Structure 1
Amino acid sequence: MASASPPQGPSPPIKKSRIGHSPHLFPTGGFEVIEPSLQVEEEKLPTYDRTNYYPMRIGDIVDGHYQVVAKLGYGGTSTVWLARDLNKERLYRALKVHTRNAAYHHELSVYEHLKKPIQQEIDDKDSHPGRDHVRQLEDFFMLDGPHGQHAVFVMVPLGMSLATMQKRQRTGVFPPILVTQALSQALLGLALLHSADVIHTDLHADNLLIALTDESILSTIEESETTKPSPRKQVGDTTIHVSQYVLGGAGALTISDLGQARIGRVQTGKAMPIQYRAPEVILNMPWGTPVDMWSAGMLVWTLLEPKSLFHIYDTKSSPKINDAHHLAAMTALLGPPPKEFRGRSKESIKYWDLQGNWQGPVPLPPKTQLADLVTTLEGEQKALFVDFLECFLTWLPEERLTADQTYFHSWLRGYDENGGEES
């Protein structure tokens, strides 16, 4: 690796400037240049195609007044950048720049749908407390790239994800007080979504971000790009920057990434991350908001316990075999599903006979109890935690408690603000 300045290429066209504050000048050299043979950032993704991504560079001004000051992250359908609004002093925003082939219209429609007040807000003439725990879209514009147009979402910058924070824990799990605080906030966000007839379908620690309480963190990131610019790689006219991660933040936990969300109370088809997938989704039944409650149960387990609840997946096996392992593991833990549940899917007969006995294509694991798997709690707190999980992990979706109901469960409310148990 070297420390020279690669050719930057011509700047992409920008809209006519309406700048109120002067843009910053960023260094054109002095950064680590990554060797062309090494894959970096989005290049490592299996579906990566350079022509699909907008060739953003630090220092670019887009939509006439957003100056890009750092890269925050990347994914299969977008890159995320920190930008300073030159019309408003020291106001930072996150720009989610979609690939030119990204199906962004659906996510945009979800954000627009959520801007409408829910009935509770209309009745109470006040904002729902879950508003603070669901990410909102502030603005939207299109960006012309060399190979097509790119949709850009403008949002308030957030800090690290709960998953990133968990990786930084010495034990790999959170203390119970942090878990209860996180679940309480996530449930408030879910309560808002479900009241708006939105099913998230993708609730897990990577999609729960911690809000910032001090924007000086963002100015520090910008300053670091001027004094110690991040490494980058040049491929033709494209500069691939290395992301800076916002590791600070002590604000509200915020449900993000609504790209997989559904609007409407009754849905069909596959959804949810595989290991979080609710049984009704696996069996191709109609499903609704209770799938998010199943996910919430899986989430609280992964935050508190070091081992997965269901050890079911083999990358060499077919999806059908993995589904069978998944359902077998559920059966061993929850007992056989009731006849009412089995009767909702023609696929049930592949796994259980008419009496509910397992007859799937894989062996049934030894029967176990939730309480026997809990390792981080003891005594009354363990019993309350098991009772809490049983509010989520049920075969019949209608037997799962709602987000509003589980918010008041005694296990969640059993810790005071100082981190101790209530007397």
Structure 2
Amino acid sequence: MGGPDNYYRACGNPFAAQPPLAGTVRVDLCVIGGGFTGMAAALAAAESGRKVVVLEAETVGYGASGRNGGQLIPGLRWSAGELVETFGLARAQAIYQVAMMAVDRVAARIAKHDIACDFKHGHFEAAWKPSHFAAMARETELLARDFGRLELELVEPADTGRHVSTELYHGGVFDQRGGHFHPLNYVRGLAEAALAAGATIHEGTRVTAIREGRTVEAVTAHGSVIADQLIVAADAWTGDLLPSARGFTVPIMNYNIATAPLGSLADKLIPGDAAIADSRFVLNYFRLSADKRLIFGGGEKYRQSPPSSITEFVRPYMAEVFPRLSRTPIDYGWGGIVSVTMNRLPHLVRRDNIWIAHGFSGHGALLTTLAGELLVEAIDGDGDAFDTLAALPHRRFPGGPFLAKPLASLGLLYYALKDRL
């Protein structure tokens, strides 16, 4: 599901293939995974003067980093109110402040390295129910009063059309600090910058084992990397590499479509060119591409097997939001895996000289860059921000290796039913 039906691959910036690993090399840092987290970590480490090797089983951006909806949503999956209720105001403010660092980190990388990834500002969270809008009003007030988010705009139901032309929603919140981009071009831009800074990338190099000790060794079919420090940035596949990480996430299938170019109609559908996501637990999310296609993600799929037709699976959800697009040609349909944690908060872990970041739970387009950089900062001795996120409480999914996914699917089905009530 990452081949020719993936819109991003069809129009992505060129990136030269990187050779597979051959033989044994010794480095300061080995990074497993060539997505947002891994490439951000490799770039930061190379800039700090470390000798870095990245091992990617497929190609840079092959996984979720090259397949997601491209939505840059500030913050975490938890509301500020939930953070305060769980952790108290002071700790909630500290957690939120670190999460918001991701916004500036991504923008800074795009600007510094001149990454051509169609970066646009603006995100609109649309209220699915009137009760959701009331909750948004309380949340916006809390964020302004206690978290300094004075720039958030509460959009009344009557003004929803300024952001999205549909009768489906009941107002929402516009966040100028959010936005959207071409995710594959972004991760390829990070990779180009990492190469320029001195990092080495090996594509087509699947890690088959990790040997732990005073140094750590990543073993592959045709060689190995011996490193002082290892970062595992494989997201949904982290547990396959490290048994100690198993059970903290489950994979959820994510599907997107891209329509044919819509021309002037595109600007009528989304007048401000913001990214849009609704407030349901199993949400729809959509935006315009640079060539005026609607990129739409949505649908409820609780098994790992893809639908027989991704385009026809997602189309009804798009048509519910925009009935006039019910017969619009769809040029691309693709899918991928996003990993979610039990509490929908990112899971950052250190175990001696092995570092892990995964489970971004739908907020990875921003948080992954931050996570990769925080891992390197912690390795370099500046671990305060890393510690803030690493201290978030996490539990394994119940059911063990055989029942965790089915039980998680039942949980998602429950919340999907609540969306409809």
Give the TM bin, normalised by the shorter chain: under 0.3
Question: TM-score normalized by structure 2?
Answer: 0.25
Q: Normalized per residue, which structure has more strand?
A: 2
- TM-score normalised according to structure 1 size: 0.25
Higher RCO (CA 8 Å, separation ≥ 6 residues): 2
The structure richer in helix per residue is 2
